[in-house]
Amino acid sequence: MLVLVFFSIFNIATLMPVSLGADAQKLAKSCIAEGETPALCKCYAGFVADNTTDKELSALTILTDPKHRGSLESALKALTAKGLTPGEIFKMAMKADALQGDAKARCEPESEE
Protein backbone atom coordinates (compact mmCIF):
# COMPACT_ATOMS: atom_id res chain seq x y z
CA MET A 1 0.00 0.00 0.00
CA LEU A 2 2.76 2.43 0.93
CA VAL A 3 4.45 1.74 -2.40
CA LEU A 4 1.29 2.71 -4.27
CA VAL A 5 1.08 5.97 -2.35
CA PHE A 6 4.73 6.69 -3.15
CA PHE A 7 4.20 6.15 -6.87
CA SER A 8 1.08 8.28 -6.92
CA ILE A 9 2.90 11.19 -5.27
CA PHE A 10 5.89 11.24 -7.60
CA ASN A 11 5.80 11.63 -11.35
CA ILE A 12 6.52 8.20 -12.81
CA ALA A 13 8.52 9.77 -15.66
CA THR A 14 11.21 10.88 -13.25
CA LEU A 15 11.88 7.42 -11.85
CA MET A 16 15.30 6.00 -12.71
CA PRO A 17 16.00 2.85 -14.62
CA VAL A 18 17.27 0.13 -12.31
CA SER A 19 20.66 -0.03 -13.98
CA LEU A 20 22.65 2.10 -16.38
CA GLY A 21 25.13 0.89 -18.98
CA ALA A 22 28.85 1.42 -18.39
CA ASP A 23 29.07 4.72 -20.29
CA ALA A 24 25.93 6.09 -18.67
CA GLN A 25 27.34 5.12 -15.26
CA LYS A 26 30.49 7.11 -16.08
CA LEU A 27 28.35 10.14 -16.93
CA ALA A 28 26.40 9.79 -13.69
CA LYS A 29 29.59 9.46 -11.62
CA SER A 30 31.06 12.58 -13.23
CA CYS A 31 27.87 14.47 -12.47
CA ILE A 32 27.85 13.29 -8.85
CA ALA A 33 31.51 14.33 -8.51
CA GLU A 34 30.39 17.84 -9.49
CA GLY A 35 28.10 17.91 -6.46
CA GLU A 36 24.72 17.03 -7.96
CA THR A 37 22.42 14.49 -6.31
CA PRO A 38 22.75 10.86 -7.39
CA ALA A 39 19.07 10.70 -8.39
CA LEU A 40 19.36 13.74 -10.66
CA CYS A 41 22.60 12.49 -12.19
CA LYS A 42 21.19 9.02 -12.87
CA CYS A 43 18.14 10.58 -14.48
CA TYR A 44 20.22 12.77 -16.78
CA ALA A 45 22.60 9.91 -17.63
CA GLY A 46 19.67 7.61 -18.41
CA PHE A 47 18.05 10.28 -20.57
CA VAL A 48 21.29 10.85 -22.47
CA ALA A 49 21.74 7.10 -22.96
CA ASP A 50 18.18 6.78 -24.27
CA ASN A 51 18.58 9.64 -26.75
CA THR A 52 22.06 9.15 -28.18
CA THR A 53 23.87 6.52 -30.17
CA ASP A 54 26.49 4.35 -28.51
CA LYS A 55 29.20 6.32 -30.31
CA GLU A 56 27.79 9.64 -29.10
CA LEU A 57 27.43 8.37 -25.55
CA SER A 58 31.00 7.11 -25.54
CA ALA A 59 32.18 10.49 -26.81
CA LEU A 60 30.27 12.29 -24.08
CA THR A 61 32.04 10.21 -21.45
CA ILE A 62 35.32 11.51 -22.87
CA LEU A 63 34.12 15.09 -22.51
CA THR A 64 33.12 14.57 -18.89
CA ASP A 65 36.42 12.90 -17.97
CA PRO A 66 38.22 15.27 -15.57
CA LYS A 67 41.50 14.97 -17.50
CA HIS A 68 39.85 16.51 -20.58
CA ARG A 69 37.45 18.93 -18.93
CA GLY A 70 39.93 21.79 -18.58
CA SER A 71 41.40 21.58 -22.06
CA LEU A 72 39.46 21.81 -25.29
CA GLU A 73 42.54 20.68 -27.19
CA SER A 74 42.89 17.56 -25.03
CA ALA A 75 39.19 16.74 -25.44
CA LEU A 76 39.29 17.18 -29.22
CA LYS A 77 42.39 14.97 -29.49
CA ALA A 78 40.69 12.27 -27.42
CA LEU A 79 37.53 12.46 -29.53
CA THR A 80 39.41 12.24 -32.83
CA ALA A 81 41.48 9.35 -31.42
CA LYS A 82 38.13 7.65 -30.71
CA GLY A 83 37.36 7.93 -34.42
CA LEU A 84 35.07 10.96 -34.55
CA THR A 85 35.44 13.48 -37.35
CA PRO A 86 35.21 17.23 -36.70
CA GLY A 87 31.77 17.18 -38.34
CA GLU A 88 30.56 14.39 -36.05
CA ILE A 89 31.88 16.24 -33.01
CA PHE A 90 30.02 19.40 -34.05
CA LYS A 91 26.82 17.45 -34.78
CA MET A 92 27.05 15.71 -31.40
CA ALA A 93 27.51 19.03 -29.61
CA MET A 94 24.46 20.49 -31.36
CA LYS A 95 22.37 17.41 -30.51
CA ALA A 96 23.43 17.56 -26.85
CA ASP A 97 22.48 21.23 -26.73
CA ALA A 98 19.08 20.50 -28.29
CA LEU A 99 18.34 17.73 -25.77
CA GLN A 100 18.95 19.91 -22.71
CA GLY A 101 15.39 21.21 -22.46
CA ASP A 102 13.84 17.75 -22.72
CA ALA A 103 16.31 16.34 -20.18
CA LYS A 104 15.52 19.12 -17.74
CA ALA A 105 11.78 18.57 -18.15
CA ARG A 106 12.17 14.86 -17.44
CA CYS A 107 14.66 15.09 -14.59
CA GLU A 108 13.75 18.37 -12.90
CA PRO A 109 9.96 18.62 -12.94
CA GLU A 110 8.52 21.89 -11.73
CA SER A 111 7.45 21.77 -8.13
CA GLU A 112 3.76 22.41 -7.62
CA GLU A 113 3.20 24.96 -4.89
pLDDT (tens digit per residue) in 62-110: 888 888 878 889 989 999 998 899 999 889 888 888 888 898 899 987 7
Q: Is 1 exposed, middle or buried (0-12, 13-18, 19+ CB in 10 A)?
A: exposed
What pLDDT does residue 38 have?
Answer: 94
What residue spans define the domains of the chain? Answer: 19-107
Distance CA 102, CA 34 (A): 21
Rounded Cα distance, 64 and 28, in Å: 10
